[in-house]
Structure 1
Amino acid sequence: MTPYAKGADAERERTVESALGKLDLTAKTRLLAGQDMWTLPALGRIGLGSLVMSDGPIGVRGRRWTADDPSVALPSPTALAASWDPGLARRAGRLLAQEANSKGVHVLLAPTVNLHRGPLGGRHFEAYSEDPYLTGVIGTAYVLGVQDGGVGVTVKHFVGNDAETERFTVDNRIGERALRELYLAPFEAIVTGARPWGVMAAYNTVNGVPMTEHDALINGVLRGEWGFDGVVVSDWLAARSTGAAIRGGLDIAMPGPRTVYGTALADAVRSGEVAESLVDEAVRRVLRLAARAGLLSGAPAAVAVADRPPGVDGDALAREIAVRGCVLLRNEGPVLPLDAAARAGGIALIGAAARDARILGGGSAEVFPDHVVSPLDGLRRALPAGAPLRYAPGADPGAELAPAGAGFALRAVARDVEGGELGGEFMPNGRVQWLGDLPPGVSYDRLHTVEIRGTFTPRVSGAHRFGTRGTGVFRLTVAGRVLYEGPQHDEHSDPFEEFFGRPLERGTVELIAGQQVEVSLLSVPPKAAELPVEAVGFSLLHGEPERDPEELLAEAVEAARGAHTAIVVVATTERVESEGFDRTDLRLPGRQDELVARVAAVNPRTVVVVNAGSPVELPWREEVAAVLLAWFPGQEAGAALADVLLGAAEPGGRLPTTWPALLADAPVSRVTPTEGVLAYDEGLFIGYRGWDRRPGPAPAYPFGHGLGYTRWEYEGLSVDHGDPVDAEEGILATARVILRNAGSRPGREVVQLYLADASASASGSASASASAGASAAERPARWLAAFGAVTAPPGGRREVVIPIPRRVAEAWDPATSSWHLLPGPFTLTAGHSSADPRISAPLVP
């Protein structure tokens, strides 16, 4: 059975029309408004179940963010994109559908396909790439995988949500060509290639119109030009105007119960402000979504349970993606993979993130896995018995306290105003985040206090630090001492940042390693009526005793000096890469750069593992033997890292985004609006396109870079120009690349094809002919046209056949509002990265 067989589509449409005809205005407008944080209401009289949405993209949280219902935590989307493997992305989507089905979730709020316009975007770890083509290919495969399992998606954030600063109000001014050729392009590829069930409208404004009200882009482009027949849901709290939103094409306003739809929309129809036909169109799309998800009685689901893909092993896939996404940036010697002599001679593992792994970014992408394999755990398990392994923290990357973690056994308890217990749940860390659904037995109207209580068994002796984060009135008690009692509220332009607040240290308590103490953080949270959504969110924070930074550094240096190989794990923190704010620089937090430099000075076999979701400056990169980019590697972080370091697997990743040596070198870096406006003045020239255009320093590591553990020689490139059948399928030409594994190990090569206009000047400009419908149209010096991958044993020769889409040779002409094939001629280059061309051939459209 194909998920979109015409017969099933027609039957669903008949059922949708029948159900729509039975609804009055009140019921219809209720159906377009969230009934709570994550769900739409059930309507029993038409056989409609309640539709449940859940955050992604690296795991499925479910209706409640709780350790009682853990989720598989896959590596960050940047890691998935670094695999350059759509097949792997589709398998990731299928796993997430499997998770969603087990949690009763019908729609996943993912994937994020905004672009890495510049390196400072605080949420870039949740998106894929700086390149629209790569983003579109990976995103299409991910969506296909999720919907293979009968679960819908909401491709987000449509469109222009490429930074977080003033995200609710910023007006992004984007030129028509850049909008079409860059920012809309991944959405178009996914809509036409995967037929997603949903799209999420962004917080921001584009060219003067809020995206939740953008008739031209939602009704005109998304639905009109691309034929999208799914729902458009607002980002949470993004919808602000009843009439403008429904006229602009927004179907669902989330979250509830207080939204601009529901009663407000019914009143707008009755007053004549809004035509009821617009409501009917939106309801029709919502019912279609419910039918596809199997929630509308009488309508066949898009994918029957029997037709879902076989089950996926979440641990194994998380480990595989982490390995395949690892990018080997540098490998002198080569020092990696570590040979038997290195293991026998001893390894010094250094860095706070080596013990307490940084596996995911902050914000709505967070989930609770049931386990995390740290780099220290992974190496201990993988090394032969007796192989020396010494650990030293070296430097603390975070100046702020983090949610209570290792050594804590905690439970959250909700009580009413008389102190009676309503319910509660066990917690994996010190963070309460109840968004929408509360624990069984707990209701907002009766809730008065929530207490995090339990025990803490310290790993080390000394003055342990404790703190609070959140909004409300708190009382913090540790080992019988009250450390803080009073209110906390942090004003912020972003309502979510304001609600969760900033971390504050409240005091220290002298504790002895191994001796258990009681801890409690009692909160009187804001009343539901004071909040835009019904939610409880606050944190018990903890930090181990502060040690003298010089002592920590000296200890790490001595460990490295006595080891055959030093492995330093450096990382960003949640206060560096997270939803809700952008970065202000690209430096690693704390004294981690100094740590690496000092370790490298005493051990020439220093390997640095970088745990970051997006670019950071690496000022010591030429001083160390190897640099391995692990991104945010998910729950199997340490197992995957051991596989790569010890040679059980090849680091197969290639950079999906250019890494600058310095922030100042980046062609685009501005994320802060001026008087509410952020101008995309760079036009088409973001990422490697911008680097090619401007003179000056080269990046530290170019787009597409990644070394692997073998060498590849490119021996031939031929181009078969498309025939009429290819043209009908949108194929311009087909490239055939012959290459050979010239190294001593088996490996995988990602063959990258770049297209260049042979008439382009060195500055990246080209004059398009009249047949292209534009004059003096600027083009980048080159751009990614397609890619493919091969694997081969040592000495093995392979041919990879790669279709080249017609769209990559087209430009948008604002004068005619249409696409036009550029006249060429083009030069097609096959290479190992954007900066490592190997072989070229002409391509004439």
Structure 2
Amino acid sequence: MDDGDEPGRLVDKLDLSGCVRLLTGDDTWHTAAEPAVGLSRMVFSDGPAGVRGPGWDETSTAAVLPSASALGALWDEDRAYGLGVLLGEEARRKGVDVLLAPTLNLHRSPLAGRHFECCAEDPLLAGRTGAALVRGIQSRGVAATAKHYVANDSETERLTLDARVDERVLRELYLAPFEAAVRAGVWLVMSAYNRVNGASMSESSLLYEPLKGEWGFDGVVVSDWGAGRSTVASGRAGQDLLMPGPEGPWGAALVDAVERGLVSAEAVRDKARRLLRLAARVGALAPEGREGPEGREGREGREGREGPGASADPGASADPGASEGPEPPAGLVTPATPVAPVTPVAPVTPATSVTPVTPVAPATPVALVAPVTPTTPATPDVLTAPKSPAPPVRPVVVGAEQPPIAGQPLAGPPAEARCEPRPRASGEPGPQALAEPRPEAVAGAGCGRSVHAVAPADPADREARGRAVLCEAAAASSVLLENRGVLPLDPAALATLAVIGAHAADPRVQGGGSSEVFPREVVTPLAGLRDALPPGVRVVYEPGPPPEGTGGPAPLGPRHARDPETGAPGVRLRVLDASGAVLHHAHQPSGRVLEPELPPGAHSVELAAVLHPDVTGPWTLGLGGFGALRLTVDGAAVLAGEYPPRTDDPAVVHVRPPQHTARVHLTAGRPARVVARRRLAPGTGRATVLTAAPPGPDPAEALAAAVAAARGADAAVVVVGTTEGAESEGHDRRTLRLPSPQDRLVREVVRANPRTVVVVNAGGPVELPWRTRPGAVLLTWFPGQEAGAALADVLLGRTEPGGRLPTTWPAVLADAPVRTTRPTAGVLPYEEGLHIGHRAWLRAGRAPAYWFGHGLGYTTWAYERLGPPEPAPGGYEIPVELRNTGARAGREVVQVYLARPDSAVDRPVRWLAGWAAVRVGAGERVTAYVRIDARALRHWCPAEGGWTAEPGRFTLLAGRSAGDLPLRGVLEA
């Protein structure tokens, strides 16, 4: 859009205090309104896995997408764009203006706690996937946020660690995905908690250069929640908005700093201009002469509800004496010229003749236990958005566009068209196709969902369509790691199918932390297979022994709990004052309460339930939270004490506080009243979690039952994975081993039935020591709410497992070249430089279990010829001829890498330069044209402060993964 100079004119109406007031949040999830200029409050929401909205409990449900690591596995910008559209539509319906997504940090180490929330180890794949998500979200008038800028690649001491990264490494790796997002027109960038090379990111010169200067970012830099810790340093830097509020280090302190000459008034005005520009883009700024904030509440999609209030922990106090950060360079305090998106390269026709070439080788009383250590206007419908017209072109699949080279002219539509779908070639899928089931998935009632030929008219149909989109994405991101002829399963050949593993009935569909949302429904693998198989197939389920290390029992839910006031399934929440009087009460679906309404005078939070045991024996009851805790069962205290926080990390304090547990003997059929109370205090957060778990089965008996079920079945499906305590924001992993005894479960089941498919439900790498033994191994990541429906489609051959690894998969942790995530004396040096992921493995001369880019399908391919590079605008197109040698149609991701063994500068052994996906029928040939941007041949030269071309010969390598590249060629630069 083109906002003209309206933000500048409106800023002129505000005095210094008025500008500053806009620069700190009004509460946890809202910005401040200003009626004098027609500014409404803007609503923020966490969003990488779904749009939670400003409320955070199970009464506010959301569609749950596959994890970002799964989206990276798509290697498909069109589908990523469609998922972004879905997020934007849901945000609009929830009244959300700003979505805190996508996460653009890299898979530097497999131990990183938020590995699942990042797309890839490779900056090109991460950048192109993230840029597609940005375009999709913002096509619906909702702002996307590229986070966490920058080098926030691990969780240990993340609030304070100092990542030491040299300039070239920053430019070529860690800044690159953010540059791609800026080129795609992203409206916000989030500054991270950590420091980089000594400077806190909210105070870093990197916010000016390259972000606002060289790249021309004209949006808002918002802090991570509570990351703004200083007044002068962050005020002088390119930081624009501090969240949450209303407390914080700016406010009156920033006004004083300006009046004393410590921060320039123009820098403050630029921050306010940027905020108003954002408001105009999302529809929160009334045109001059129109109604103000009150009129906005009635617009379609806005709920008009208030947020949960200010955070209990507003963050560090102002520090006017903090070390001064850089003032903006001359010319950077005025809004930058908007950057237009890039026009994609037109597809070209495959060669009509192919010349094959030779490939190159390549029962107890109540007992206490010790506390547990915390391991605008209405927008177009998502389903009916029109395609942008384009002239006919030669039909073939081509790799999507690359970010343009810094300093070169940008091709594409004018800046005001940045929110519209990019122009597409005839036959290339547009937003409607992206958000709808693709033809190949529709065939055979793919994903078990009804698919309409036109956009659904009512909310129920709209939700069904959305679920189909999510199901297809989960299937398309599934990576088939191994297959020994077992997949796809033929339902006609099955009389009995054994489904085994705790994750089959209770899968992990998302990772832990601020990205978590509450799904409306989860299709489990067990339910998905039962629904998809014919009535004559008997499905036998055995959970096997429960995995260890779950982090405590699950929140007390409707299966066992009843509200003591209404008798409805769930629990009763009460907020009490110091005398015990009730200030607020509400029904809750479960015992997990993260952001309760806290009226003035709130002293404690109480959760009460009537627990209906269905098993006799020692139940584990738990209370999660910080501060003074008390848990009673039928009036008797089973847990009481003071539990002060050991960290101020928001992911721990506000999202997943540690549980403190007790074992209580309960009798089946005899209800027990359970009451948990937590006294509120500064620094203890707002989360209170009441949990319960029945006594578990005998592990040996559970294992024997699982083995017996497998032995008596025609085939077995074992679902294994990580647990709640493993992959989460707030901490890094210490091991890649699956929680015990899942490895033993797999071995025993495979021994009993070789026709066993092992499904791996994890957001990042785990060790698979048995991987060569099962009939097939399928990686489904954290697949989102449609997990089981997608799994059934893949296992039964209704759709092909389309994913390719976005990260290199080690056989054992000790083999991984980059493992460090824990700083020493607060410093985490990125000593590996440019060599992370597959680059590091190649440099070390080691072979992983599975290479970056690996993934099998249900057909086979022969790579036959690598044609000579063809010049294209801003780079090259590389023709790769291949043939489907299998018995069914399939999709292949053709990957092209570059190498320069004789380079005068340090370079990776080889690096990803581009890719393109093709889909053809059995026996057919196709030419994929892979686009390589000229930037892929250049390196960053700190001495020259720019991208430098190195003349000479580069080696081209083409194939299906970083370790399987049968074709070679030459590119003369």
Using structure 2 for the length normalisation, give the TM-score. Answer: 0.80
CA distance in 2, matches of 1:310, 1:298: 29
Gap change, CA 1:99 and 1:75, over 3 Å in 2: same
Residue 618 of structure 1 aligns with an amino acid whose one-letter code is L
**After alignment, is 464-473 or 666-675 more displaced?**
464-473
**After alignment, is 648-657 or 593-602 more displaced?**
593-602
Q: Is the 8 A contact 1:39 1:50 kept in 2?
A: yes
Q: Is the 8 A contact 1:327 1:651 kept in 2?
A: yes
Residue 767 of structure 1 aligns with an amino acid whose one-letter code is S
Query: What pairs up with 1:311-326 in 2 under 5 angstroms?
Result: 313-326=465-478
Q: Is the 8 A contact 2:558 2:589 kept in 1?
A: no
CA distance in 2, matches of 1:421, 1:376: 43
CA distance in 1, matches of 2:198, 2:861: 49
Alpha-carbon distance, 1:62 to partner: 0.5
Alpha-carbon distance, 1:85 to partner: 0.6
**After alignment, is 746-755 or 196-205 more displaced?**
746-755
Q: 2:693 corresponds to which residue?
A: 543
2:679 to 514, 519, 524: 524
Q: 1:339 corresponds to which residue?
A: 490
Unaligned runs of 5+ in 1: 761-765, 769-776
Q: Is the 8 A contact 2:147 2:190 kept in 1?
A: yes
2:284 to 290, 295, 301: 295
Paired residue secondary structure (1:279)? helix
1:721 to 861, 870, 878: 870
2:576 to 412, 415, 426: 415
Residue 204 of structure 1 aligns with an amino acid whose one-letter code is N
Alpha-carbon distance, 1:293 to partner: 0.8
Alpha-carbon distance, 1:741 to partner: 1.7
What does the per-residue CA deviation read over 1:241-279, in whole Å, with 9 as the maximum and x for residues that have no partner?
Answer: 111002111001111122111222112222332221111
1:488 equivalenced with 2:643 (yes/no) = yes
Query: What pairs up with 1:805-816 in 2 under 5 angstroms?
Result: 805-816=933-944
Gap change, CA 1:651 and 1:460, over 3 Å in 2: farther
Alpha-carbon distance, 1:25 to partner: 1.7
Gap change, CA 1:712 and 1:478, over 3 Å in 2: farther
Alpha-carbon distance, 1:722 to partner: 1.8
2:899 to 756, 775, 778: 756
What does the per-residue CA deviation read over 1:679-727, in whole Å, with 9 as the maximum and x for residues that have no partner?
Answer: 111111100001111134x10011000001111122332234325xx1x
Query: What pairs up with 1:446-525 in 2 under 5 angstroms?
Result: 446-458=601-613, 460-478=615-633, 481-492=636-647, 494-498=649-653, 500-512=656-668, 517-525=672-680
CA distance in 2, matches of 1:612, 1:510: 34
Alpha-carbon distance, 1:318 to partner: 1.4
Q: 2:525 corresponds to which residue?
A: 375
Q: 2:950 corresponds to which residue?
A: 822
**After alignment, is 267-276 or 346-355 more displaced?**
267-276
Gap change, CA 1:80 and 1:459, over 3 Å in 2: farther
Q: Is the 8 A contact 2:514 2:651 kept in 1?
A: no
Q: 2:857 corresponds to which residue?
A: 708
1:687 equivalenced with 2:831 (yes/no) = no
1:143 equivalenced with 2:134 (yes/no) = yes
2:191 to 153, 176, 201: 201
CA distance in 1, matches of 2:933, 2:955: 15
**After alignment, is 479-488 or 219-228 more displaced?**
479-488
Alpha-carbon distance, 1:498 to partner: 4.4
Aligned-pair identity in percent equals 50
What does the per-residue CA deviation read over 1:355-402, in whole Å, with 9 as the maximum and x for residues that have no partner?
Answer: 112111000110001111111111111111131211111122243323
Residue 712 of structure 1 aligns with an amino acid whose one-letter code is W
CA distance in 2, matches of 1:823, 1:684: 21
1:210 equivalenced with 2:371 (yes/no) = no
Gap change, CA 1:642 and 1:405, over 3 Å in 2: farther
Residue 491 of structure 2 aligns with an amino acid whose one-letter code is A
More helix by share: 1
1:165 to 156, 161, 181: 156
1:739 to 882, 895, 908: 882
Paired residue secondary structure (1:837)? coil
Residue 868 of structure 2 aligns with an amino acid whose one-letter code is V
Query: What pairs up with 1:553-702 in 2 under 5 angstroms?
Result: 553-696=703-846, 698-702=847-851
Q: Is the 8 A contact 1:166 1:493 kept in 2?
A: no
Alpha-carbon distance, 1:547 to partner: 2.5
Q: Is the 8 A contact 2:467 2:786 kept in 1?
A: yes
Q: Is the 8 A contact 1:148 1:308 kept in 2?
A: no
Residue 416 of structure 1 aligns with an amino acid whose one-letter code is D
Q: 1:255 corresponds to which residue?
A: 244
1:431 equivalenced with 2:592 (yes/no) = yes
Residue 427 of structure 1 aligns with an amino acid whose one-letter code is Q
What does the per-residue CA deviation read over 1:266-315, in whole Å, with 9 as the maximum and x for residues that have no partner?
Answer: 12222332221111111111111111111111179998534564466321
Gap change, CA 1:620 and 1:268, over 3 Å in 2: same
CA distance in 1, matches of 2:469, 2:660: 38
**After alignment, is 170-179 or 552-561 more displaced?**
552-561
CA distance in 2, matches of 1:516, 1:507: 16
CA distance in 2, matches of 1:825, 1:61: 50
Q: Is the 8 A contact 1:150 1:308 kept in 2?
A: no
Residue 489 of structure 2 aligns with an amino acid whose one-letter code is L
Q: Is the 8 A contact 2:653 2:687 kept in 1?
A: no
Q: 1:773 corresponds to which residue?
A: none
1:385 equivalenced with 2:551 (yes/no) = no
Q: Is the 8 A contact 2:33 2:39 kept in 1?
A: yes
What does the per-residue CA deviation read over 1:630-661, in whole Å, with 9 as the maximum and x for residues that have no partner?
Answer: 10011111111111111111111000000000
Paired residue secondary structure (2:944)? coil
1:268 equivalenced with 2:257 (yes/no) = yes
Q: 1:774 corresponds to which residue?
A: none
**After alignment, is 46-55 or 592-601 more displaced?**
592-601
Using structure 1 for the length normalisation, give the TM-score. Answer: 0.91
Paired positions, count: 798
CA RMSD of aligned residues (A): 2.0
Q: Is the 8 A contact 1:68 1:426 kept in 2?
A: no
2:70 to 63, 68, 79: 79
Q: 2:214 corresponds to which residue?
A: 225
CA distance in 1, matches of 2:967, 2:231: 56
Alpha-carbon distance, 1:508 to partner: 2.2
Gap change, CA 1:636 and 1:309, over 3 Å in 2: closer
Q: Is the 8 A contact 1:788 1:801 kept in 2?
A: yes
Q: 2:927 corresponds to which residue?
A: 799
CA distance in 1, matches of 2:789, 2:913: 35
CA distance in 2, matches of 1:274, 1:689: 43
Q: Is the 8 A contact 2:625 2:678 kept in 1?
A: no
Residue 57 of structure 1 aligns with an amino acid whose one-letter code is P
Query: What pairs up with 1:183-194 in 2 under 5 angstroms?
Result: 183-192=174-183, 194=184
Q: 1:772 corresponds to which residue?
A: none
Q: Is the 8 A contact 1:336 1:626 kept in 2?
A: yes
1:51 to 31, 42, 66: 42
Paired residue secondary structure (1:722)? strand
CA distance in 2, matches of 1:628, 1:638: 13
Residue 62 of structure 2 aligns with an amino acid whose one-letter code is S
Gap change, CA 1:426 and 1:643, over 3 Å in 2: farther
1:28 to 19, 26, 45: 19
Q: Is the 8 A contact 2:513 2:651 kept in 1?
A: no
**After alignment, is 709-718 or 148-157 more displaced?**
709-718
